[in-house]
Amino acid sequence: MGKCESCIIREFNSLKSLTREELIRISACKTGKRYKKGEIIFEEGESLNGVYCIRDGVCKLTKLSENGKDQVVKLVVKGDLLGKRSLVADQKTNLSAIALNDMEMCFIPKSEIMNDLAKNPNFTMDVLKDMANELRTSEESLVTMAQKSVKRRMAEILMYSHDNFGLDEEGFLSIVLSREDYASIVGTATESAIRILSQLKKEGLISTHGKRIKIEDYTGLKWIE
Amino acid sequence: MGKCESCIIREFNSLKSLTREELIRISACKTGKRYKKGEIIFEEGESLNGVYCIRDGVCKLTKLSENGKDQVVKLVVKGDLLGKRSLVADQKTNLSAIALNDMEMCFIPKSEIMNDLAKNPNFTMDVLKDMANELRTSEESLVTMAQKSVKRRMAEILMYSHDNFGLDEEGFLSIVLSREDYASIVGTATESAIRILSQLKKEGLISTHGKRIKIEDYTGLKWIE
DNA sequence: CGTACTATTGAATCATTTCAATTCGGGTGG
DNA sequence: CCACCCGAATTGAAATGATTCAATAGTACG
């Protein structure tokens, strides 16, 4: 496992505001963790005793609704810091994290982060800004859920995947989700998600091969309402 | 207008972490503002040049969806600090604020707050915790919107109003919203909101008098799914 | 007293869920 | 390499939930 002070991942998150000395200290006490596709990283209600810095892979953050279904709240990727919120608020985590890929991450113990948070105002400010942005996107998703049709929401997650995770050699979305995952992101029944996807297929906007999806007409997706 | 250092409202928000000196400085540069019911405090996309500390009244924070409808994201009340997020992230505001009551608030200019944020780590940490909590509730609302029925969401806002704004002398919810506001909170069409309310009335869970609503069976509301 | 909103209701239509079959694809063991 | 199996994907059809448009009734306010 490499050293934090020479790790480029940190440029993508708030850790970039730490001093060289702080990074060296963190480097000394961090541990590496690997998770296989489908593995649970942590579950809603657990107390986290640190944050996870994602080096590779994608995971979903979900929350169990009272109706018994999981809702995906956010997809997190390389560079994201997981568990900030719980640490800062000193609360049990409100979300579960489940790997969608094989993942590689560094785990930084709570005490070390809290220490830096207390002593390095730049770092605190950076975490604060980050949280402000998360809040904005969360509010945007809330409006999307409340106001847009299932079809529109599906189109949005397809475009999001395209923009953020890219395509494989054959032009399929490189992140492969089950229909159930799509349903849980869009906030609908699995069969509904499937139905919407086959509708999009009929309309020529996408094509599929097994669970893999290829976007055939990005612009077309954009205009769905 | 009173002095911040002797104002009890600040105990309800992050301003409680400021020192006496900081409060005196803020007190000197703050201005008082009043808004009448229905007045716009600020609109999505504006740059705020300060934060609003609510001394009295309630307002709704809304976001315009692409379908042309407003969605209420949050109700804010006495003690809340409005505009933190935009200031911290140094972005235009993502929400509009509209008074639901006659309101009384103090406006604290950006420079003063940002100065304190930079120099008082306790204050920064407090704002950070606050934002972490806002993020949690936003994520909870997101799940509610995605997974629960309109009827259930309506029941929740009624219980929320009961718990947070209380009742008037006659036992009606003391916050009076239009049916359109209810629809915009619940994320549905106005007629749907009306229909749900009359359904609840038929079931004996609530009664109404004009736009005023009285909860007749709180426990009954709780069990709606 | 009107006027102007706001609330309410009906009926038709559209969107989404549900349950019950099938079909398909990918991995396993022979 | 191929037959088989299992879980995931797909589809149909009925039922339920929500929206829309249009018409009517209330209420508040000047």
Asked whether the predicted pLDDT for residue A207 surpasses 80, the reply is yes
Q: Which of B173, B178, B131 is nearest to A132 (CA)?
A: B131
Q: Do B22 and B130 reside in the same domain of the chain?
A: yes
User: What are the chain A neighbours of B89 within 8 Å (beta carbons)?
Assistant: 129, 132-133, 136
Residue A1 distance to chain B (closest CA, Å): 31
B158 falls in which pLDDT band (50, 70, 90)?
Answer: very high
Residue B149 distance to chain A (closest CA, Å): 10
Closest nucleotide to A213's CA, by C1' atom? D9
The residue lying closest to nucleotide D28, measuring its CA against C1', is: B210
Asked whether the predicted pLDDT for residue A35 surpasses 80, the reply is yes
Q: Do B131 and B173 reside in the same domain of the chain?
A: no
pLDDT of residue A1: 67
Q: Do B139 and B154 reside in the same domain of the chain?
A: no
From the list B66, B89, B132, which residue is nearest A88 (CB)? Answer: B132
Q: Do A25 and A133 reside in the same domain of the chain?
A: yes
- Mean per-residue pLDDT for A97-114? 93
**Which chain A residue is nearest to residue B153, measuring alpha carbons?**
A146
CA distance B29 to B22: 11
- Asked if A145 and B140 come within 8 Å (Cβ–Cβ), the reply is no
Q: Which tokens hold the place of B75?
A: 């109700």
If you ran DSSP here, which 8-state letter would residue B166 be given?
-
Q: Do A86 and A181 reside in the same domain of the chain?
A: no
Q: Do B36 and B138 reside in the same domain of the chain?
A: yes
CB atoms within 10 A of CB A177: 22
Q: Do A168 and A116 reside in the same domain of the chain?
A: no
* Distance C13 C1' – B45 CA (angstroms): 37
With beta carbons less than 8 A apart as the criterion, state whether A135 and B138 touch.
yes
**Of the residues A121, A145, A169, the one at which a domain ends:** A145
Closest nucleotide to B212's CA, by C1' atom? C7
3-state secondary structure string across chain A: CCCHHHCHHHHHCHHHHCCHHHHHHHHHHCEEEEECCCCEEECCCCCCCEEEEEEECCEEEEEECCCCCEEEEEEECCCCEECHHHHHHCCCCCCEEEECCCEEEEEEEHHHHHHHHHHCHHHHHHHHHHHHHHHHHHHHHHHHHHHCCHHHHHHHHHHHHHHHHCECCCCCECCCCCHHHHHHHHCCCHHHHHHHHHHHHHCCCEEEECCEEEECCHHHHHHCC
pLDDT of residue B206: 94
- Mean per-residue pLDDT for A65-79? 94
Taking all residues of chain A, what is their mean pLDDT, rounded to a whole number? Answer: 93
Query: Starting at the edge strand that comes first in sequence, how are the strands of the sheet with B40-42 ordered?
Result: B40-42, B96-99, B58-64, B70-77
Question: Where in the sequence is the domain holding B77, given as residue range(s)?
Answer: 4-145
Kindly tell me the burial class for residue A146, based on how many C-beta atoms sit within 10 Å of its own C-beta (0-12, 13-18, 19 or more): buried
Per-residue pLDDT tens for A52-63? 999 999 999 999
Q: Which tokens hold the place of A148?
A: 């847009």
**Which chain A residue is nearest to residue B90, measuring alpha carbons?**
A129
Is the CB of B203 less than 7 A from some atom of nucleic acid strand C?
no
Q: Do A191 and A216 reside in the same domain of the chain?
A: yes
If one counts the domains in chain A, the total is 2
Q: Do A49 and A154 reside in the same domain of the chain?
A: no
Closest nucleotide to A180's CA, by C1' atom? D8
- Asked if A94 and B139 come within 8 Å (Cβ–Cβ), the reply is yes
Per-residue pLDDT tens for B4-53? 888 888 888 889 999 999 999 999 999 999 999 999 999 999 999 999 99
Query: Is residue B99 classed as helix, strand or coil in its secondary structure?
Result: strand
Asked whether the predicted pLDDT for residue B57 surpasses 70, the reply is yes
**Of the residues B108, B125, B145, the one at which a domain ends:** B145
Is the CB of B191 less than 7 A from some atom of nucleic acid strand C?
yes
From the list B65, B121, B134, which residue is nearest A124 (CB)? Answer: B121
**Of the residues A145, A172, A196, the one at which a domain ends:** A145
Instruction: Assign residue A99 the CATH number of its domain.
Output: 2.60.120.10
Q: Do B112 and B134 reside in the same domain of the chain?
A: yes
Asked whether the predicted pLDDT for residue A106 surpasses 70, the reply is yes
Q: Do B17 and B82 reside in the same domain of the chain?
A: yes
* Distance D19 C1' – A222 CA (angstroms): 23
- Asked if A67 and B127 come within 8 Å (Cβ–Cβ), the reply is no
**Alpha helices, H only, B148-187:** 150-165, 179-186
Is the CB of A189 less than 7 A from some atom of nucleic acid strand C?
yes
- Mean per-residue pLDDT for A9-20? 88
Per-residue pLDDT tens for B89-120? 999 999 999 999 899 999 999 999 999 999 99
Closest nucleotide to B178's CA, by C1' atom? C6
Q: Do A169 and A120 reside in the same domain of the chain?
A: no
Q: Which tokens hold the place of B141?
A: 């609302």
